[in-house]
Amino acid sequence: MSALNSIFSPALFKDKNVLVTGGGSGLGLRAAREFAALGATVFICGRTQEKLDRAVKAIHGEGGRVESVVCDIRDRDAVVELMQTVSDQAGKLDILINNAGGQFPAPAETISAKGWQAVIDTNLTGTFNVMQAAFNKHFRKKGGAVVNVIADMWQGFPMMAHTGAARAAVDNLTKTLANEWGRHGVRVNAVAPGIIRTSGLETYDPAVRPMIEEAGKQNQAARMGTEAEVAAALVFLASPAAAYITGATLRIDGGQSIFHPLYPPNGERVWPAFDDENEKP
């Protein structure tokens, strides 16, 4: 199980059960592969059976243990059933990666009521549904770790008003539940990816993709992030190495969210020019 060249110990999640929502594709699939490679039994869920089937095949092909469950996280009853399935098949849940989500780019004034609701229901209510059901069924008695996947919305989220609002809400929810559930041994953290090259980006209208490609370079690394870079952060926050971290949101964005006009990401400083020799300490 070294196909992923992980820096983590190969048995890090031995005897642990992990649920990755939206684990059938993109970041979720990469995280599911990573946890499986590190010894966990992984459950993945999503709305599309075929996507899940392909993911299961891939993880089995790498020697991992994985089960899939079709579930729309917006459906509270289905989410409660999902937790029951995990209980029936594995007895307990140790780690929840709340990754399922998405949106469509649109100027705020054009977002329909249905479109707004769909994005809020998915990214805010759906994420809450899964956390609440996981806590009530599994984490309340034995503790656990939750990592929510949000987004870089620290400077607002132009063209994504719905998801920006929902993700900011989940950032806050992360802190609230870290407080409420800490005494039950539950840690709740989040990661905020910048622009990551995933299959999810390919679902966007081809007309907006060049803008996303360009925006993806506007950070100190001058490139989009990778699925592996986000998965590594998810693994870290879920692991005992992060035992003293809760209520935190880790930004994985090459510095995109700390943009400063004096040092723009393209390297052309507004600050009076110093040559590199003079800048050396």
Ligand X SMILES: CCC/C=C/C(=O)SCCNC(=O)CCNC(=O)[C@H](O)C(C)(C)COP(=O)([O-])OP(=O)([O-])OC[C@H]1O[C@@H](n2cnc3c(N)ncnc32)[C@H](O)[C@@H]1OP(=O)([O-])[O-]
**Hey, what amino acid is at 253?**
D
> By rule CB under 6 A, what string of x and - marks binding of each residue 257-276 to ligand X?
--------------------
Query: Do 232 and 7 contact (CB within 8 A), yes or no?
Result: yes
If contact means CB under 5 to 8 A according to the sort of partner, which of ligand NDP, ligand X, none does residue 106 touch?
ligand X
**Nearest residue to ligand X on Cβ basis:** 102
Candidates 114, 183, 260, 280: give the one binding ligand X (CB under 6 A): 114
Q: Is 200 in the site for ligand X (CB under 6 A)?
A: yes
Q: What residues numbered 55-74 form the site for ligand NDP, per CB under 6 A?
A: 72-74
Scanning 11-19, 63-71, 200-208, 268-276 for contacts with ligand X by CB under 6 A, the matching segment is 200-208
In sequence order, what E strands does 9-143 have? 17-21, 41-46, 65-70, 95-98
Scanning 46-54, 60-68, 179-187, 265-273 for contacts with ligand NDP by CB under 6 A, the matching segment is 46-54
**Hey, what amino acid is at 99?**
N
Q: How far is the CB of 117 from ligand X (least distance, A)?
A: 8
Candidates 168, 212, 228, 258: give the one binding ligand X (CB under 6 A): 212
Distance of alpha carbon 51 from alpha carbon 70, whole angstroms: 10
Q: Is 255 in the site for ligand NDP (CB under 6 A)?
A: no
Which has the closest alpha carbon to 240: 36, 59, 11? 11
Q: How far is the CB of 128 from ligand X (least distance, A)?
A: 15
Distance of alpha carbon 12 from alpha carbon 130, whole angstroms: 24
User: Other CB atoms closer than 10 Å to residue 279's CB: what's the count?
Assistant: 7
Scanning 16-24, 31-39, 132-140, 257-265 for contacts with ligand NDP by CB under 6 A, the matching segment is 16-24
3-state secondary structure of 80: helix
If contact means CB under 5 to 8 A according to the sort of partner, which of ligand X, ligand NDP, none does residue 260 touch?
none
Which has the closest alpha carbon to 58: 193, 197, 199? 199
Query: Do 150 and 237 contact (CB within 8 A), yes or no?
Result: no
Angle between helical axes of 26-37 and 227-238 (0-180°, round to 10): 50
User: Residue 10 is encoded by which pair of tokens?
Assistant: 């190969």
Q: How far is the CB of 134 from ligand X (least distance, A)?
A: 21
Q: Is 99 in the site for ligand NDP (CB under 6 A)?
A: yes
Q: What residues numbered 169-228 form the site for ligand NDP, per CB under 6 A?
A: 193, 195-196, 198-201, 203
Alpha carbon 67 to chain centroid, angstroms:
19
Residues contributing to the site for ligand X (CB under 6 A)? 102-104, 106, 112, 114-115, 118-119, 122, 151, 195, 200-201, 203, 212
